[in-house]
Amino acid sequence: MPELPEVETTRRGIAPYAEGRRVEALLVREPRLRWPVPEALPANLRGQRIERIERRAKYLLFHTAAGTLLVHLGMSGSLRVLRGAAPPPKRHDHIDVLLSGGDTLRFNDPRRFGCFLWLPSGESHPLLEHLGPEPLSPDFDGELLYRRSRGRRGPVKSFLMDGRIVVGVGNIYANEALHLAGIRPDRSAGRIARARYEVLAERVKQVLTSAIDQGGTTLRDFVGGDGKPGYFAQQLYVYGRAGQPCKTCGAPLRERHLAQRSTVYCVTCQR
């Protein structure tokens, strides 16, 4: 599913075409997403100027004077810019946001696990409450990980992927960051020293920044807001490489499942 780098790539791709534009209309062809598209959403958005587009965790927030459009790409969704007259919709093209100037934002979601929800101005939303800090912000560091991990017996990988601890570190990037930090993903979170968490926090920032610079990771059908795939998959050290040689030491990479997620690691480099 699209993770933080893919969502940030989408935000950067659509922001230049959408920010400052007014919503002429919202065309909803299929309202049955993860949560039903509110019936009032087209009326809420019509005529509103998109002041800015922000990302919070894996959510895209389209801020207007009247409120905020909250968008999640789900497991297979994409939000793309179509310049000028939009071509006829294809299968799974569920929603179009028609913008002033003639451009369109088109939402495609084969599995329908995404969402388009409305947040009135001045109100909070349950989906955004209790989220941890952004991993690329100054609020996220090794001291935070060390402090929040004390007393936890579960695997450090599951701890790192907990959105209440830090947002947006999904399965792909947790695998990669733990490998680069030399930490086994099944180690108990509460038994890892402060110094190692300081390294891990830096590797999380490194991996996410690199993935964003490369436009995300295309594993199945993700494309950015400009319709182009991401290329970070070419730089993966462990994810999806079970049984292949470790790029660092040459030992065969092992795979196991933690919290029902594929976890690949090197028994030599990670401890």
Which CATH number goes with the domain that contains 110? 3.20.190.10
Active site positions, annotated: 2-3, 58, 261
In a domain, 270, yes or no: no
Is 259 found in the same domain as 151?
Answer: yes
Using an 8 Å Cβ cutoff, are 171 and 161 in contact? yes
- Report residue 230 as tokens: 């991401």
Asked whether residue 135 is domain-assigned, the answer is no
Q: What is the CATH number of the domain that holds 215?
A: 1.10.8.50
Whether 133 maps to a domain, the answer reads no
User: Does 151 lie in the same domain as 67?
Assistant: no
21 known ligand binder: no
pLDDT at 214: 82
34: annotated binding-site residue? no
Supply the pLDDT for residue 213: 86
Burial of residue 113 (CB within 10 Å: 0-12, 13-18, 19+) is middle
Q: Where is the domain boundary, 128, 154, 180?
A: 128
Do residue 10 and residue 108 come from a single domain?
yes
Low-confidence ranges of the chain (pLDDT < 70): 1, 216-234
Domain count along the chain = 2
Would you say 92 is a known binding-site residue? yes
26 within some domain:
yes
Q: Which residues neighbour 96 within 8 Å (Cβ) at sequence distance 6 or greater?
A: 25, 26, 27, 29, 86, 89, 104, 105, 106, 107
- pTM here is 0.88
Residue 3: per-residue pLDDT:
85
pLDDT at 259: 87
Is the distance from CB of 18 to CB of 99 less than 8 angstroms? yes
With respect to residue 55, please indicate whether it lies within any of the assigned structural domains. Answer: yes
Task: Assess whether 119 and 165 both reside in one domain.
Answer: no
Among residues 118, 120, 93, which one has the least CA distance to residue 35? Answer: 118
Residue 192 has which token pair?
Answer: 């890892």
Query: What is the domain range of residue 199?
Result: 142-265
Same domain, 123 and 159: no
pLDDT of res. 218: 44
Helix, strand, coil % in the chain, rounded to nearest 5: 25, 25, 50
